[in-house]
């Protein structure tokens, strides 16, 4: 029985979430459960609030949560500052990764790992580089990127791949990927998908935001959700993505109009 | 032994402990408050100055009294210095010791907390540790002495090496250069005198550490470094003071002379507490094909005014200023560089990076002078400012006077901000706000930090982290 309650809690639980920015409500009562071990995909038209959802989950200060709650393995996520959420195991791959001039990729990832260690404990440099190089090789990222400043001057695809590298190094429990596939060429897409798939495990949940069903051919989702105007309006299996691709969002909107 | 080193490290990992501690005063010599010709005589008597030095001091005092505060171009905050509430000379009356074991316990513990004996063991060729007005410890490795290198305090320098000392003393920076060089010339004590004979390349750095322990006090060290033909030296200085309620004055004069083909690197890591007025004049003369580099990091103080300069007097001489300034709330870093080209084919390079946090204020003042009759001179000036929040202030006054058209000059300036997006991105990866700021700041100055010797760049990074922690958390 106890084991069951525990497993019940092992999920990212979004309940009736409302959030706004600059007085404008963007999330309008969004609910979604992402248990560990599952991959959930969200699709939805431009401006429907997908990036807003990921930033609210990650704890961006510009957004005001006006209602609902988010629990991560039973713990209230919304009370934690952004850095604490990250250290507690939440990772977000940015739709638009940010450049940090002068800070090398290696130093950045190292600082992020160091921030997870108890006070006084030092990250072992040799182990760190070993792990970093292994992940870079897997993601086919040239080793010269260790010395390059974080995202500075990277191509769109390189930036996205770099997000996945950080994710692989930080080993989070919940991963939110915001349009990681946009800007990737077909080979890069396969490599990134391989990287993500390698991380799939019963101990990790994924929320994958995408516009393209193609990504879902490589990263097979357990569930697909459609987000329109700040809410999840439809959920289904992998087939839902195919259906969407075929019929477009108007199909969901029309259906909504009918049921309303 | 190992235990001792660890203690030093542990203490140093807490911000307050870096420089903010003090021991009770026990001075045998105290010139008292205020500055008159009696003060000057008191200092000359205690130090048993030769007549020419006493005369030099009195002349300088007259100049100091006569010269106005440079508030027509500099900050009005200078007017808050009350020269009557400062003591101009405080000393124990003991000669500097050659062994740490002979240094009085409180002074020894001070420098141990600052990590000086440890650094000496690890990588220095010689150390001079000044406590208030005079050096408490001074030692040079035998191998360096055997090469004929002289490294003593200014008093010993002017008495025992008068020939060389007198030839250059006050020549690079005349007494009347500015009000504070005049002040220093009147009451100077401590600082280093270094002479490196022709062809000698001192392998390890020589270091001076300037420690203020007493309140209502002014420290006026005087340093003169002469590096003879083809010789090379690196000199490093560090400084700290406890946090007093009242303001403290530090006003040094540093003169460098690089003879033909000589090289001098002068490295400063300054970490003054936030009520020190730090008004320093630093300049070097570079003869033919000689090179002088000022590598300067200014952290802390209430007001720092410092514009290291190089007069390139010989053909193909090179001058360089690499500087980092960090101004936190309540601090003003007014720094820059002075490059005076006085011969053909001389080259100067200035790279200045300032960081303003909170209400901290940074000012860059540059002066590059290339007269018309010269040929083939080059200057490159880059000054970049990083603002950590919108109330920070930064000003740039690059005065570049280039006459004639046979010269190449280049000037770049930039102002950037650590954006909220950057901070959020880093926080999303688990870094606290302070860690994120530190990382951005370190990224900003990264290329300059590499110019510092390894041992100092580690220290520098740590000081910056602590400043960021204090300003955010
Ligand atoms: N500061 C703001 N003030 C008002 N509206 C904003 C602000 N920032 C974002 N929005 C709006 O919020 C809505 C949701 O934006 P969001 O980036 O979450 O969409 P998205 O679903 O990720 O779209 P896309 O598919 O194009 O990435 C958009 O209509 C956007 O214009
Ligand atoms: Mg988006």
What pLDDT score was predicted for residue B286?
A: 98
**Residues of chain A whose C-beta is under 8 A from some C-beta in B?**
58-62, 81-83, 86-87, 91-92, 94, 97-103, 107-109, 111-112, 115-116, 149, 166, 170
In terms of C-beta density within 10 A (0-12 exposed, 13-18 middle, 19 or more buried), how is residue B334 classed? buried
Question: Cβ(B136)–Cβ(B105) under 8 Å?
Answer: no
- Tens of pLDDT, residue by residue over B257-280, are 999 999 999 999 998 988 899 999
- Find the DSSP H helices in B151-208: 154-160, 162-168, 179-187
Q: Does the pLDDT of residue B473 top 50, yes or no?
A: no
pLDDT bin (cut points 50, 70, 90) of residue B12 is very low
Token pair 């406590």 in the structure block, residue: B131
Element containing residue B220 per DSSP (H, E): none
CATH code: domain of residue A119: 3.40.50.300
Cα–Cα distance for residue pair A234/A243, rounded to 1 Å: 12
Which of B92, B85, B91 has its CA nearest to residue B33?
B85
Q: Which residues of A touch B430 (CB under 8 A)?
A: 83, 86-87, 112, 115-116, 170
What is the token pair recorded at B277? 């007025």
Question: Cβ(B77)–Cβ(B332) under 8 Å?
Answer: yes
Q: Is the CB of A23 under 6 A from ligand 1?
A: no
In terms of C-beta density within 10 A (0-12 exposed, 13-18 middle, 19 or more buried), how is residue A32 classed? buried
Contacts of B2 (CB under 8 A, 6+ apart): none
Residues of chain A with pLDDT under 70: 1-8, 257-260
pTM: 0.86
pLDDT bin (cut points 50, 70, 90) of residue B144 is very high
- Tens of pLDDT, residue by residue over B285-308, are 999 999 999 999 999 999 999 999
Token pair 């007494």 in the structure block, residue: B175
Q: Which residues of B touch A100 (CB under 8 A)?
A: 422, 425-426, 439-440, 443
What pLDDT score was predicted for residue B11?
A: 36
Residue B19 burial (CB count, 10 A): 24
The proportion of chain B whose per-residue pLDDT surpasses 70, expressed as a percent, equals: 95
For ligand 2, the distance from its centroid to the CA atom of residue A210, given in whole angstroms, is 9
Sign of CA dihedral A56, A57, A61, A66: positive
Which ligand ends up closest to the CA of A60? 1
Q: Does the pLDDT of residue B207 top 60, yes or no?
A: yes
What is the token pair recorded at A141? 């990222």
Domain that holds residue A208: 2-259
Which of A215, A220, A213, A218 has its CA nearest to residue A242?
A213
Contacts of A177 (CB under 8 A, 6+ apart): A92, A93, A163, A196, A206, A207, A208, A209, A210
Which of B17, B136, B429, B243 has its CA nearest to residue A90?
B429
Helix (H, G, I), strand (E, B) or coil at B426: helix
Radius of gyration of chain A, Cα coordinates, nearest whole angstrom? 19
DSSP string, chain A: -HHHHHHHHSEEEEEEEEEEETTEEEEEEEEEEEETT-EEEEE--TTSSHHHHHHHHHT-TT-EEEEEEEEETTEEGGGS-HHHHHHTTEEEE-SSPPPEEEEEHHHHHHHHHHTTSPTT----HHHHHHHHHHHHHHTT--GGGGTSEETTT--HHHHHHHHHHHHHHH--SEEEEESTTTT--HHHHHHHHHHHHHH--TT-EEEEE-S-HHHHHHS--SEEEEEETTEEEEEE-HHHHHHHHHH-HHHHHHHHHHH-
Residue A260 burial (CB count, 10 A): 5
Residues pairing with B232 in the sheet: B201, B263
Give me chain B's average pLDDT, please. 91
Token pair 């999330």 in the structure block, residue: A27
What is the bridge-based pairing of β-strands B206-211 and B232-240? Answer: parallel
Total CB pairs under 8 A between chain A and B = 78
What pLDDT score was predicted for residue B21?
A: 82
Q: Is the CB of A146 under 6 A from ligand 1?
A: no
Query: Least CA distance to A103: which residue of chain B?
Result: B443
DSSP string, B224-283: EEEE-TT-EEEEEEEEE----SS-EEE--EEEEEE-TT-EEEEEEEEEE-TTEEEEEEEE
What is the bridge-based pairing of β-strands A149-150 and A223-228? Answer: unpaired
Task: Take atom 18 of ligand 1 and give the residue whose Cα is closest.
Answer: A49
What pLDDT score was predicted for residue B3?
A: 31
Sign of CA dihedral A146, A152, A158, A164: positive
Which of A42, A50, A178, A212 has most ligand 1 atoms within 8 Å of CB, for mutation?
A50
Q: Is the CB of A54 under 6 A from ligand 1?
A: no
Residue B183 CA: distances (Å) to CA of B51, B83, B84, B250, B385: 19, 10, 13, 11, 32
In degrees rounded to 5, what are phi and psi of residue A245? -60, -40
Q: What is the mean pLDDT of residues B70-82?
A: 94
Query: Least CA distance to B425: which residue of chain A?
Result: A98
Which of B365, B133, B103 has its CA nearest to residue B248?
B133
Q: Does the pLDDT of residue B16 top 50, yes or no?
A: no
DSSP string, B100-159: GGGS-HHHHHHHHHTTHHHHHHHH-SEEEEEETTEEEEEEE-HHHHHTT-EEEEHHHHHH
Residue A159 CA: distances (Å) to CA of A54, A153, A193, B281, B407: 18, 9, 15, 47, 42
Please answer yes or no on whether B439 and A61 come within 8 Å at the CB atom: no
For ligand 2, the distance from its centroid to the CA atom of residue A258, given in whole angstroms, is 27
Contacts of B26 (CB under 8 A, 6+ apart): B92, B106
In terms of C-beta density within 10 A (0-12 exposed, 13-18 middle, 19 or more buried), how is residue A115 classed? buried
Q: Is the CB of A151 under 6 A from ligand 1?
A: no
Question: Cβ(B207)–Cβ(B126) under 8 Å?
Answer: yes
- Tens of pLDDT, residue by residue over B87-115, are 999 999 999 999 999 999 999 999 998 88
What pLDDT score was predicted for residue B184?
A: 98
Q: Does the pLDDT of residue B5 top 90, yes or no?
A: no
Which of B184, B239, B242 has its CA nearest to residue B215?
B242
Q: What is the mean pLDDT of residues B40-58?
A: 97
Which of A90, A169, A161, A182 has its CA nearest to residue A133?
A169
Query: What DSSP state is assigned to residue B464?
Result: H
Domain count, chain A: 1
What pLDDT score was predicted for residue A83?
A: 98
Q: What is the mean pLDDT of residues B403-432?
A: 92
What pLDDT score was predicted for residue B13?
A: 36
Counted residue by residue, chain B has a size of: 473
Q: Where are the domains of chain B?
A: 2-471
Q: What's the complex ipTM?
A: 0.95
What ligand 1 atom has the least distance to the C-alpha of A230?
14
What is the token pair recorded at B92? 């124990």
Question: Cβ(A85)–Cβ(A59) under 8 Å?
Answer: yes
Token pair 């979430």 in the structure block, residue: A17
Contacts of A155 (CB under 8 A, 6+ apart): none
């Amino acid at each position: 029985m106890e084991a069951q309650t525990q497993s019940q809690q092992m999920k990212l639980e979004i309940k009736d979430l409302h959030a706004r920015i600059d007085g404008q409500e963007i999330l309008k009562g969004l609910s979604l459960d992402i248990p560990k071990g599952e991959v959930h995909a969200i699709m939805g038209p431009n401006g429907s609030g997908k990036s807003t959802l990921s930033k609210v989950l990650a704890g961006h200060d510009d957004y005001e949560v006006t209602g609902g709650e988010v629990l991560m393995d039973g713990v209230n996520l919304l009370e934690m500052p952004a850095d604490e959420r990250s250290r507690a195991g939440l990772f977000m791959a940015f739709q638009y990764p940010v450049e940090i001039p002068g800070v090398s990729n290696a130093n950045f990832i190292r600082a992020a790992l160091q921030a997870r260690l108890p006070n006084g404990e030092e990250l072992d440099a040799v182990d760190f580089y070993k792990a970093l190089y292994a992940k870079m090789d897997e993601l086919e990222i040239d080793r010269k990127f260790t010395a390059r400043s974080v995202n500075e001057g990277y191509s769109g695809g390189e930036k996205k791949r770099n997000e996945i590298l950080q994710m692989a190094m930080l080993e989070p429990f919940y991963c939110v990927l915001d349009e990681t596939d946009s800007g990737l060429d077909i080979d890069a897409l396969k490599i990134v998908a391989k990287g993500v798939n390698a991380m799939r495990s019963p101990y990790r949940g994924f929320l994958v935001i995408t516009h393209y069903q193609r990504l879902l051919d490589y990263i097979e989702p357990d569930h697909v959700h459609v987000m329109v105007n700040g809410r999840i309006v439809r959920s289904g299996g992998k087939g839902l993505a195919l259906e969407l691709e075929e019929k477009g969002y108007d199909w969901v909107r029309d259906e909504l109009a009918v049921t309303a | 032994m190992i235990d001792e080193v660890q203690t030093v490290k542990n203490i140093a990992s807490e911000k307050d402990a870096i420089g903010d501690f003090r021991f009770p005063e026990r001075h045998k010599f105290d010139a008292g408050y205020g500055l008159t010709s009696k003060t000057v005589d008191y200092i000359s008597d205690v130090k048993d100055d030769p007549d020419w030095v006493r005369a030099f001091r009195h002349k300088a005092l007259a100049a100091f009294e006569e010269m106005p505060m440079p508030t027509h171009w500099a900050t009005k905050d200078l007017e808050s210095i009350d020269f009557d509430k400062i003591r101009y000379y405080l000393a124990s009356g003991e000669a500097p010791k050659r062994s740490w074991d002979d240094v009085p316990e409180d002074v020894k513990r001070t420098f141990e907390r600052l990590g000086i004996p440890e650094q000496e063991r690890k990588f220095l060729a010689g150390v001079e540790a000044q406590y208030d007005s005079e050096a408490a410890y001074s030692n040079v490795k035998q191998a360096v002495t055997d090469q004929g290198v002289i490294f003593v305090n200014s008093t010993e320098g002017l008495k025992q090496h008068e020939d060389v000392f007198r030839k250059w003393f006050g020549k690079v920076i005349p007494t009347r250069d500015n009000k504070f060089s005049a002040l220093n010339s009147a009451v100077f004590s401590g600082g280093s005198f270094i002479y490196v004979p022709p062809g000698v390349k001192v392998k390890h750095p020589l270091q001076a550490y300037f420690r203020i322990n007493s309140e209502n006090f002014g420290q006026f060290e005087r340093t003169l470094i002469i590096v003879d033909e083809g010789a090379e030296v690196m000199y490093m200085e560090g400084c700290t003071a406890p946090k007093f309620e009242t303001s403290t004055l530090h006003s040094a004069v540093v003169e460098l002379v690089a003879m033909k083909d000589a090289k001098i690197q002068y490295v400063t890591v300054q970490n003054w507490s936030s009520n020190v007025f730090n008004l320093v004049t630093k300049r070097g003369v570079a003869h033919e094909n000689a090179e002088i580099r000022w590598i300067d990091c200014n952290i802390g103080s209430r007001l720092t005014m410092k514009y290291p300069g190089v007069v390139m007097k010989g053909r193909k001489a090179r001058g360089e200023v690499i500087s980092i300034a960090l101004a936190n709330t309540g601090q003003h870093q007014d720094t820059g560089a002075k490059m005076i080209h006085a011969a053909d084919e001389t080259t100067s390079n200035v790279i200045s990076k300032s960081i303003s946090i909170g209400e901290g204020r940074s000012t860059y003042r540059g002066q590059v002078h290339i007269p018309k009759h010269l040929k083939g001179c080059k200057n490159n000036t880059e000054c970049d400012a990083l603002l950590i929040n919108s109330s920070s202030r930064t000003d740039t006054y690059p005065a570049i006077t280039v006459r004639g058209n046979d010269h190449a000059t280049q000037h770049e300036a930039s102002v950037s901000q650590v954006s909220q997006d950057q901070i959020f991105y880093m926080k999303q990866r688990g870094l606290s706000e302070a860690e994120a700021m530190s990382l951005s700041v370190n990224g900003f100055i990264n290329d300059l930090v590499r110019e510092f010797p390894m041992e100092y760049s580690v220290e520098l990074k740590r000081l910056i982290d602590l400043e960021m922690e204090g300003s955010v958390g």
